[in-house]
Structure 1
């Protein structure tokens, strides 16, 4: 007889939309499973960026989690009620005059 119980399902919010995930799953895994690959824009050239190294070194997976910008989604684990925000909106442009 196995003593392992099935993973607990939790509710998360991704860019304002409700979603489901397994408790303890990495935030990156939840985003990719939801079909969200680009997570932010490069602040220098505006290119879309997504998870790369998977271990918190490259910083390409940074998102805002529960209001904390700069959270590394590959090392963060989902909890019930977590609010996840990606940063793929266009960057503001400087006024040219």
Structure 2
């Protein structure tokens, strides 16, 4: 396999893995701390995590330069895909 076909530089991919690993590793400790210091339950904590994540992703999307895909995807399909992804992540965080 040619390395020219990869869409992401190795350094950036490693940085993404490091950030994801740090976020994954600290999520349980942070949730435990929140449970001990407040009366927030797991569903409420999941809601706020998803809401804050949504705001951060929206801000990142607005700050990124806009790139048009070669083949435009219909709006209905994009909304369905975004909605399904959001519901899946919300169920995952709550579970």
User: Would the TM-score normalized by the shorter structure come out above 0.5?
Assistant: no
Q: Could you say which structure has the higher strand fraction?
A: 1
Larger Rg: 2
Q: Could you say which structure has the higher helix fraction?
A: 2
TM-score by length of structure 1 reads 0.24
TM-score by length of structure 2 reads 0.24
